[in-house]
Chain A
């Protein structure tokens, strides 16, 4: 059965120069340069967004829904990721940003930060169960979940089996609006305002056969200028009542936010997909058995470093931290909302191992292929130069054995071949001229 893959991360062919800068960085070796252009192997891409950051020609992009798509719904709900609050600088408070969203055309704003607090509650509840596998690995970053599905099947059982704050926010806000205002469910459009490409993918193509509660994903980049324009003209906003989340939820945007929100246990926070790979390697070896909670985020500096943000993540961090400091002073925001039943946010099904690195379904053949790869790799110079379009000599050998490339894609092999043809031609020629002489 042909599997359908949607990916937010895609290539703009017209901008790609085929420079091969991106191929070595991809954590799943998903990129090849073929015929002078990058191609993403769909089965392997986890939408981590690293190639977007790496490409010097901005040829990699993340597809999101256009801002106009909110017009498709009568009642529009905005779910701002807490990262949004870090984008605008000290004058633009959370209150101003939230009311700007309403002025922009949203009928209702539900902070994802609020849902993050509920997820924190649910996590504490979940962690109290002595039976669960430690370390519990955060499942909030969809790129990391997909990475684990591909590379670390043994850690699937360690994943926190609780919906992400985005999904919780979507479900709760839809329900709130339906109950409070009596708006029919099919007239409600729920839009996540995202720093992240992987979230787009998790909405359009959720893990296994789940259904997302989010109707559309807008990028922070796209909505940044419209919001800024509104805020510049914004008058007094204090008249509008807000039920804003506490510091705990907002701090989820910053690395260490999710893990320090949980009150107990040994917790570590790791960000950047290659560092995440290293820590997961430690986890499979059993070296983290004395760790209770592992926060893992694919982007450097966590969601603040997502591919769809505008502000430099370190500047955004200062903005967010200032906002958090303000909330901390305000007692009213300090109480963590205890949601009635956290169990309702637990995953209904698990995610599955995706053995896409497997060489063949028949183990005998897979072993033979492995040996072929060894032999072919040995024949290469081992420079991992990337000129063939594969990230390493071994990766090219693998592609050859899988039938996706040929040996002469290696420029050194090609040169050898050209030399030997030239040599043969030369021999034929001199043989020919000899017979000419004999005439």
Chain B
């Protein structure tokens, strides 16, 4: 049996009720394979924020996850509007979320910086009108 666990999830657009299901599921897998709770927590925060961004800003997308005994790699991609100025977007508190989203408690502009803080490697590929792909790596040791 292979010792790489692979998961793929669909992230539906604008559906807040199931946004976060993928990261919850990954959290359970990591606990089952015995990853330390603080690392599980960092991973699920990073993944959750990226998932929510795909829902709110990217018209939905997909998540691809690969887990081996050293690390987890999470790739969240969407075919949405892309990010014009990534450096600006990364700043704490910067958000283009409309009021309607903010009223629901999202859009504080902390997502990308939280992902950065909680991952070991973060890479973002984005192009206006083409979409955004977020690569998150968290090491287990």
Interface of A with B (CB < 8 Å)?
153-154, 281, 284-287, 353, 355, 357-361, 363-364, 366-372, 374
Contacts and interface: CB of A to CB of B under 8 A. Distances in A.
B89 to A, nearest CB: 20
Contacts of A286: 45, 48
A92 to B, nearest CB: 46
Nearest to B45: A286
A357 B31 CA distance: 7
Interface of B: 1-5, 20, 23-24, 27-29, 31-35, 37-38, 40-41, 44-45, 48, 67-69, 105, 140
A284 B31 contact: no
Contacts of B45: 285-286
Contact of A371 (B2, B24, B140): B2
A367 B5 contact: yes
Nearest to B37: A153
Nearest to A282: B20
A353 B48 CA distance: 23
B40 A363 contact: no
What 5 A-B pairs are tightest by C-beta distance, nearest first? A153-B37, A366-B33, A368-B1, A367-B3, A154-B41
Given A285-B44, A358-B34, A364 B27 contact: no
Given A363-B69, A363-B140, A370 B44 contact: no
Contacts of B34: 355, 358-361, 363, 366
B21 to A, nearest CB: 10
21 contacts: A153-B31, A154-B40, A285-B23, A285-B44, A286-B45, A286-B48, A287-B105, A357-B31, A359-B32, A363-B34, A363-B35, A363-B69, A364-B3, A367-B68, A367-B69, A368-B1, A368-B2, A370-B5, A370-B33, A371-B4, A372-B1
Contacts of B32: 357-359, 366, 370
A353 B41 CA distance: 14
A96 to B, nearest CB: 49
Given A281-B24, A284-B44, 19 more contacts: A154-B40, A154-B41, A284-B41, A285-B44, A285-B48, A287-B105, A353-B37, A357-B31, A358-B32, A360-B33, A363-B33, A364-B3, A366-B34, A367-B3, A367-B68, A368-B1, A368-B2, A368-B3, A370-B5
Contacts of A281: 24
Contact of A370 (B23, B24, B29, B105): B29
Contacts of A153: 31, 37, 40
Contact of A154 (B23, B37, B69): B37
A27 to B, nearest CB: 14
Nearest to A358: B34
Nearest to B140: A363
B5 to A, nearest CB: 5
Nearest to B19: A285
Nearest to A150: B31
Contacts of B44: 284-285
A206 B28 CA distance: 27
B48 to A, nearest CB: 5
- Among B5, B23, B34, chain A packs the most CB atoms within 10 A around the CB of B34
A284 B27 CA distance: 10
Contacts of B38: 154
A306 B140 CA distance: 41
Contacts of A368: 1-3
Contacts of B4: 367, 371
Given A364-B3, A367-B69, A371-B5, A355 B31 contact: yes
Contacts of B68: 367
B69 to A, nearest CB: 5
- Among B1, B20, B45, chain A packs the most CB atoms within 10 A around the CB of B1
Contact of A285 (B20, B28, B33): B20
Contacts of A361: 34
Contacts of B37: 153-154, 353
